[in-house]
Structure 1
Amino acid sequence: MVKDAITDKEAPLKKRRKTTSNASSTITKVPAVDIYQTVIDYEEAEASSRDPEKDKELFRKACDDIRTMMDEITELKTKRSEDSKGEIIGRRIKASLLFVVLKKLNRLEKFRTKTSRDTMNRVKQQVDSYHLQLQNLLYEIEHLKKEVTKCLQFKSKDEEIELVTVEEFYKEAPTTLSRPEVTQTNPHQLKLARLEWELEQRKQLSALCSKLQTAKETVGKEIQTKKERLDNLTPRLKSILEVTKPLQEYLGLPLDKIRKQHQVAYLLPKPLYVLYVQADAYREACDTLMLVSVSGDEEEARLLKNTKNEEKVVEESDSDQEDNSERDKRHHRKLSRSDRLEERKKRLLLRHPLTVHITIKLKGKYFNLLSIYRDLIAPNKLLSGLFVHDLGLDSPNVANNYQLQHLGLNCFSSYISELGVPYIWVQRVAGLDFMGARTAEIMDGKSDSVEPKTSVSQASVESVMRAVRQRLKARIALCKQVQALENGSVVLPHNQRSCFPGKSSSSLSGWQLLTWDEYQAYPHTQPFVREEAVGRGDIFYSMVTSCFAPMDEHAIFHSVDGTKQTGPT
């Protein structure tokens, strides 16, 4: 039976009786004991000492015995005999004792469960403590790594100083400072020696700077003194000029006008200023019939020049203080992308408010020309093709096309009517040589913007002015010939009269100007186009005549300067 498995230790504790001795009349008292706590301690100790697997088997056996007894009690109740009643009572007692055993085992299991939970909680707390310690150690490791990285990345102030090279240091520094016997084997001592040499040089430069600053202040005081004298002299000079105006007009010396022109010329952009100076010098030295002047809005030009100077100063200051500029940009109002694009387009296509005018005059008197002949001496016809392959159809500066494409604009030829014709000879008389500058950039590896050069302008002004004057004379002579042909008053030289028929009669029925496209449309002009005898830069006329004698199918008129004027008869 299950109850036999319970040892004597499992029996409930019994209280000791009080004993009295009649002889000695002494009473012995048992000390008070907390039975409940004692039982709990005992069961806890028993739960830890017993084998859970054996208790598990004991629990199953007790349950099986209870089922068996219940079945037997049920069977005995069905018999309904007197003997069965006693057996039922006995089995009930045994079943009750088995329930006591189950309670005992249940208490032991509860103790084991509580002990396991306490152990688990204690272990979990220990694991949490270890995990927290691990996290603290990892955090400390990361902190140490960051500190090590900061130490490795730390840059001392001496690293920002641009020291001279080691070779130059040993060459220029005195031996008492360079100490080659020590510094050549010790990099630290070499660094200290170079820093000391840098400090010595800076002290010398500081002393020199102070000396130069003193000299600058002295020169500044002298300049201020002379400026004050000049300021006092200005009113006197103005009064003298006012008095000499009648003499200037009598002698033909417009000094005031020339001085004003020179003042306005200072507002010109650099290329136009070079053109004005060189052209005026050529006029004064070689060609008195040529006039050079500057016209335009003087106030707008002055405002434009001041704006560019301010932008240049701002760009220089921004390059020195990049951090401040980045911080200030956040406070400026941001323009939209379209507004910035329009602003860049406007600045790219902006024309300068001032213009340099060069007027070339010819000696003698010239007759009035009809409008059809005036086209021969129009600026777009007179200046086009002044030199070979210089028709002004494209900009000599290749960068202009890329600038226009970057802003989504058309090619440069679309803006010739607004900006002007970019003849190459015009760029050269203004001191600009894009081809030479591009070659220099390739040789030097630089990409700076082209700056006007006086030498380029001096080498081109005289040849250009002579070519313009020669072209003008040739065109006027051609106009005279064409007008004489139209009036029927052509005078032939004596040595060429035999080449023309003696009896012929013809009259001019029509005379009009043709474009290049119209000229190419005629079938009998195709040989000239294929042979490239004519080109887009030539001037074309159509002349219709009524002839009473055989003559050629079409006529070709050659101008004095070599330009062909071709037209069908």
Structure 2
Amino acid sequence: MSNNVDMIETSPMEESSTKIHQQKEDDDHHRQCVDELRTIFLQVHRYQQEPDKHKDELSQLHARGMHLCNKLRSLNRNGRMRIQKARELTAEHRNRLDDQTLEQQNLLYELSHINREIARCEEFKSKDQQLELVSVEDFYANAPPELTDSNVTGNDPHRLHLFQLDWELMQREKLHDDCKALQTEISDLKKQIVRRRKRLRSLRPKLKQVVKSTEPVRRYIESQFDDTNNLSQSINNPLIAKLPDPLYVLYSLVLAYQQCDGRHVTCQIESKEDSSTTNSSMDTNSDGIFINGDHQHQSLMRPHPLHVKMSLILSPDHTGELLFTFLPHLNIVTIQGKLTGLKAQQSQTLTSTLLHNLLDDNDNGQLSPNPTTDFLFQQQGKSSPIFSDTNGGYPYHWIQQLCKCQMVPLQRQELATDCSEIIKRLTQRMRARIALDRILINLEKSEMPLLAEGHETTHILNSSLRRSINNLPIFRSCREISFDDIHKYEHIQTLINENLIDRITTSIYECKFQSLSQDENNKTMLYAHIFIPPNYPQARSIILLKLISTINGNKTIERTRINSENIKIFERSLIFDVTYPSMISSGSGSVDLSQHFTLLAQQIWRLSIGFPLLIDAESNLTCTSRRRQTLLSRLID
């Protein structure tokens, strides 16, 4: 096989050498023929001078010359044929060279095109690089096993990226299906709403017929009861038809309660011209549009021009006013509370948290209970507003529930109650604030608060604590302090870390007591920090103590619950052990609310009476822990 290849490879060279050799032979023959013809021509020329004598030689020379001419003609023909073949071969090689040159140009063009394609592919940025894929840790944690095989994806980042794209596609298809299901549910709900609206429209003529048929009965009742006349005026108020649905529900419930058992409750409808307090507090102009803030924020927070005002007559000097406002764009109802007749300097503190935590300890009304509020403000590039008295009132959960404004969350369904229960709790809360106002008035005057009217305070203390109140410490002062003032104290950090106080809604007071020691160089001061929650007295006030003793006029010893077990026991007795037999009725076991509202006064009296016992326990350095508890047991028993 190799020999054949060698023969095939060497045959063109042999053929070329053969042609060259043959051409040389032809050239030699041509030269010989020409030389021989030249010789013959010379001989013929010489013999022609004597033709008769050389006749035979001339004939031979003529034959030989003709033979040589034929041979020259043959050589000439061979030369021409060789030239023709050379030309043909040259043309063939030229054509082949042209074809190869063209093929080379095509290959070069194709090579440049491929290089451009390679460069474009290398510079190409796929859209999958713009996708926000989940992290590799989440992918391995949540993706199915067939996509998270570490043997396949461990050393192949490209395969890992492909599997991540597959997982992303699966998740997006699932979300797309969920979105379709939710859209179907939304369409079903819309159809249900349309169907129910049609049914409600069909009920309107029937209700009008019922009202018309009961007109004689209503006129008879109005003629029999004088109190019903005022109620009739409220019912026939032409503004009722213009109320939004939530305020209409509220107005109807309050009127029903007023008719049944609410002589101390009044309810009326106010327009935006009448409720000047609302316009001033929400910074609106005569058209009800916000003056401060951008227009989009104004449109979302714009209230309905009609408001419902409810008044609770608590005493001849005290009246509670509640103003209900509806925000149509947010679909929530806000409330502003005011309690008139308070005389303490901290009356604003008493009313700022007047309605906080009425039914729920976490309902402070600062955030909107409607989840769509966050979405609406995020669309405008704003954060959700923080509601307050100066921002239209508080949208408490209980008022949304009372007005049937929106569904109650599952965790709050157990707190659902009716209008009568809410009004009773409002009345109780306001009466507790009135009692707290009386206590704060005494504290501002550096006087001990009264536990009851007249001389019953001394009787309650002597009958409950079995101790004389003549040897009491000196009550120096009482002042309201801020959260920043007490945040630096170490013994209060525990209370803050356990989230037992709310820095916004909790009122903080500092009371200062001094022992009856006549020696100015050895005196003891007791600082009591009182934390009053917004839902006082349902939640009791927390009192933390700090005892400062001065020895020989220059050495000061500070004791708190951190370094004194006696103070810790004393604080516990102030919170958990303030109960009196007079507060519990012997028959039904119900709580006497008049005593219940004076819990803070009882705590301060117990603090004042227990101060000498605390000094005795702290000064007796040799007593054991059991002895210290015995000294303070009189406060707990």
- Please confirm whether the aligned pair reaches a TM-score higher than 0.5, indicating the same fold: no
TM range, smaller chain: 0.3 to 0.5
**Structure whose residues are more often helix by fraction:** 1
Relative to the length of structure 2, the TM-score reads 0.37
Structure with the bigger RCO (C-alpha within 8 Å, sep 6+) is 1
Relative to the length of structure 1, the TM-score reads 0.40
The structure having more radius of gyration, on CA atoms, is 1
